[in-house]
Structure 1
Amino acid sequence: MTIVYSDSAYFPSARSLSSHTAERVQSRAVGPDVLRSLAILLVMLVHLPIEATPSMLVGVRNYAWVGVDIFFVLSGFLIGTQLFKEISRTGGVDLKSFYLRRAFRIFPAFFIVLGLYAIFPILRDAPTMQSIWSFATFTVNFNFDPRVGRAFTQAWSLCVEEHFYLVLPLLVLLLHRRISMRWTLLIAAAMVIAGMILRYTIWENQIGVLVDADKLRDAFAVYLRDVYYPTYTRLDGLMFGVILAAARFFKPELCKRYAPARVALPIGVGLVAAALVLFSIRGPLAGTNLFLVFQAQLGSVAGFPLISIGIALILGAMLDLEHVLKRWPVPGAMVVATLSYSLYLTHKSAFHIDRLIFGEANLQGGSGFVVYLVTSFAAAVVLWFCVERTFLLLRDRVLSPSK
């Protein structure tokens, strides 16, 4: 899971913030922070061993993978909005500035953690790991077989995000004067249908055969490798985030007329709930303990776009309700959102170290959950202050609009 990775991820209390950064902190929206906080907490929950999960959260854990889809929609919306504003203001996209900003935001913390994984195998959350080269080139999500290597698996979603960051600015630059909103929606619809057909074909030809042969472990591994991890099967969330950004930026009057908060919020929640129902229909895998959260064929084909549309509608509604959210803020949401990228990179290794120090038997239920949260946040704070914040401030100085 990506997460990620807003340009406004700063603690407002940091004394060394520039005035430009301080203004950005004050103007950050509450709604995206709440969703980002929820997303990273769900990602952390899904990676927590079930024996260390409080009983009241076991049912939530089964569907906590939705946190990744929230991140994808957020990234699509935030980056799309940034690009649309720039191209509307200047008529183009400064590709060098865009890619440098993304590099300052993502590379330092990622490569520090990757280097620690490479140099100190004791930090790895699993005995086996894919090649360091595949992580370093952000290609690990292609042919990512968990039977070969399982450490640092959360990096698959960052790879999807990186591919998105690489391609979207080029598409916006090339197409913004050539296609209308209608053509954009038609292309998006075609991409959704193509993704559904692709996932269906993969399931029928590769996964279904293994399920029928009762090779469920292999079926789950192939599902992750060929359906869940690859960029080309997980574009729904990013795409609907971009569509939301385009609609709100170029057609705000239509959004107000046809998707006000009172309409978008219940429909969005309903679509996410409907998608989760599809994922809960496990078909031939029902009743197997190993695959309680296994996404069945129907969910894998239609569930991802439904969830993405639902989350996009919820995000749009929360943006419209910003005045309400500012009066009734969620305690700690901004801090958790600020730490989300560092939490994403370190949480699995943090719990692995917890097990080495305290012993797995002492990390059961509520106590294990508390230790997991405390150590994960401690590691994230260290990474944020020592690496993330340093390079974000450096980025502001290097890429300051005044220079």
Structure 2
Amino acid sequence: MNTIASSDSALFPTARSLSSRTTEKVQSRAVGPDVLRSLAILLVMLVHLPIEATPSLLVDIRTYAWLGVDIFFVLSGFLIGTQLFKEAARTGGVNLKSFYLRRAFRIFPAFFVVLGLYAIFPVLRDAATMQSVWSFATFTVNFDFDPRIGRAFSQAWSLCVEEHFYLVLPLVVLLLHRRISTGWALLVAAAMVIAGMILRYTIWETQVGVLVDANKLRDAFAVYLRDVYYPTYTRLDGLMFGVVLAAARFYSPDLCKRYAPPRVALPTGVALVTAAIVLFSIRGPLEGTNLFLVFQAQLGAVAGFPLISIGIALIFGAMLDLEQVLRRWPIPGAVTVATLSYSLYLTHKSVFHLDTLIFGEESLQGGFGFLIYLATSFAVASVLWFCVERTFLLLRDRVLARSERA
């Protein structure tokens, strides 16, 4: 990854990004995306860890570790958006074949290897039940994903959202980049935010709220996940604000410097994320049927996601502006964690399940068990990266180079 807007940077770095062949390549990596990507995957790994196996110092953090997914969404929206805007400005269009080919080589090989292992060897599954393999293979599992029916490989829901985004955004940029003004683009973004809030409110009122009123609390939470948390059409905020950030920095950099410098963007972003966490701080139907608690939970589901997304986008923008400062204090291991993040994402739940089979659940509690979890997760992710991801990324580079020469 020679620039932060590389197509390979949407969710995770590429084989090139890990290469240490030259100091120039290592230095060319942007620090901000690596730090946020590393933070995101570590949070995702933490939120999927059973609370009994979570070290006491991390229990409170685990409560909000689901934020890792929202960080990924904003990163993806920004990085893919920037890539497409640059290509459209340079060439007047978007090479759809090249874009989709890059995404396919980047996402499919490791995903289908892990999915195949889940399908063939049930012992690897992190839960006793699993949705149909077909729904995973077609990236539609996040629609009607009911955790009461199947929970294994549940993290794939967010990859489905990403895939739908990869499918649609290049077409939107290709069709509209010369036909829509900045004002209209902002109006469309605002309309999408409002529509998402209305949709989540409606779903809560018609699907979740009736179960809360009936005191069916576990069913209410499962329906919340199925109908509010997982579907693509309710989780567009992070991706959209990532794209908005990309458009603002690419098309109006002077306005960004004037109205959103780091001294403004950073504290504002932190304040917005904090406000969203407050809305989500009472975990809704699982806490009881007190009307105030239910209102808090509903308010979080309706307004929390856009607040989080705007906040993360502002923080990310500030980090990009502070790149030279961040380079002075590099975080050890951030490049490695960021590079392995996709493989970690695909395998960490299965790895912990295998750890419990090998070491026993009682051995995985506390700090020592957490270290075992980290060590085994990174070991498996490294194998998947070197054997599958890296191989197909190198193959992709050769295929694209041959296609460009033709």
Judge same fold: TM > 0.5, yes or no: yes
1:327-381 deviations in Å (ceiling 9; x for gaps): 1111111110000000000000000000000111111111211111010000000
Alignment partner, residue 12 of structure 2: 5
Q: Which amino acid aligns with 1:360?
A: E
8 A contact 1:3–1:340 mirrored in 2: no
Alignment partner, residue 373 of structure 1: 374
1:104-133 deviations in Å (ceiling 9; x for gaps): 000000000000000100000000000000
* Alignment gaps of 5+ in structure 2: 1-8
| SS in structure 1 of the partner of residue 129 of structure 2 | coil
| SS in structure 2 of the partner of residue 296 of structure 1 | helix
How big is the shift at 1:27? Answer: 2.1
8 A contact 1:31–1:325 mirrored in 2: yes
How big is the shift at 1:399? Answer: 1.0
Alignment partner, residue 4 of structure 2: none
How big is the shift at 1:30? Answer: 0.5
Partners of 1:305 and 1:9 in 2: CA distance: 34
Partners of 1:212 and 1:282 in 2: CA distance: 16
How big is the shift at 1:280? Answer: 1.1
Q: Which amino acid aligns with 2:11?
A: V
Kindly report which structure 2 residues correspond to 1:76-87, keeping only aligned pairs within 5 A, or say none. Answer: 76-87=77-88
Gap change, CA 1:357 and 1:8, over 3 Å in 2: closer
Partners of 1:6 and 1:220 in 2: CA distance: 34
Alignment partner, residue 92 of structure 1: 93
The answer to whether the aligner puts 1:341 opposite 2:342 as a matched pair is yes
| SS in structure 2 of the partner of residue 399 of structure 1 | helix
Gap change, CA 1:77 and 1:7, over 3 Å in 2: farther
| SS in structure 1 of the partner of residue 94 of structure 2 | coil
Alignment partner, residue 316 of structure 1: 317
8 A contact 2:10–2:80 mirrored in 1: no
Partners of 1:340 and 1:184 in 2: CA distance: 32
How big is the shift at 1:3? Answer: 8.1
Partners of 1:192 and 1:393 in 2: CA distance: 39
Gap change, CA 1:381 and 1:371, over 3 Å in 2: same
How big is the shift at 1:6? Answer: 3.8
Kindly report which structure 2 residues correspond to 1:74-223, keeping only aligned pairs within 5 A, or say none. Answer: 74-223=75-224
- After TM superposition, the runs of 4+ consecutive aligned structure 1 residues lying more than 6 A away are none
Kindly report which structure 2 residues correspond to 1:11-26, keeping only aligned pairs within 5 A, or say none. Answer: 11-13=18-20, 26=27
8 A contact 1:3–1:68 mirrored in 2: no
8 A contact 1:128–1:151 mirrored in 2: yes
8 A contact 2:355–2:373 mirrored in 1: yes
How big is the shift at 1:23? Answer: 6.4
| SS in structure 2 of the partner of residue 326 of structure 1 | helix
1:198-255 deviations in Å (ceiling 9; x for gaps): 0000001110110111111100110000000000000000000000000000000000
Q: Which amino acid aligns with 1:258?
A: Y
* Alignment gaps of 5+ in structure 1: none
8 A contact 2:45–2:348 mirrored in 1: yes
Partners of 1:8 and 1:23 in 2: CA distance: 16
Partners of 2:215 and 2:371 in 1: CA distance: 38
8 A contact 2:34–2:338 mirrored in 1: yes
How big is the shift at 1:98? Answer: 0.1
Partners of 1:375 and 1:90 in 2: CA distance: 45
Q: Which amino acid aligns with 2:144?
A: N
8 A contact 1:342–1:380 mirrored in 2: yes
Alignment partner, residue 240 of structure 1: 241
8 A contact 1:3–1:40 mirrored in 2: no
Alignment partner, residue 360 of structure 2: 359
Partners of 2:355 and 2:284 in 1: CA distance: 37
Partners of 1:216 and 1:402 in 2: CA distance: 56
Gap change, CA 1:134 and 1:283, over 3 Å in 2: closer
Q: Which amino acid aligns with 1:267?
A: T
Partners of 1:10 and 1:119 in 2: CA distance: 32
8 A contact 1:3–1:344 mirrored in 2: no
Q: Which amino acid aligns with 2:372?
A: V
Q: Which amino acid aligns with 2:43?
A: L
8 A contact 1:339–1:381 mirrored in 2: yes
The answer to whether the aligner puts 1:37 opposite 2:38 as a matched pair is yes
Partners of 1:327 and 1:32 in 2: CA distance: 15
Q: Which amino acid aligns with 2:370?
A: F
Q: Which amino acid aligns with 2:324?
A: H
| SS in structure 1 of the partner of residue 212 of structure 2 | helix
How big is the shift at 1:12? Answer: 2.3
Partners of 2:304 and 2:218 in 1: CA distance: 22
How big is the shift at 1:296? Answer: 1.4
> How many equivalent pairs are there?
392
Gap change, CA 1:282 and 1:46, over 3 Å in 2: closer
1:375-394 deviations in Å (ceiling 9; x for gaps): 00000000000000111111
How big is the shift at 1:8? Answer: 6.9
Q: Which amino acid aligns with 1:315?
A: F
RMSD: 1.9
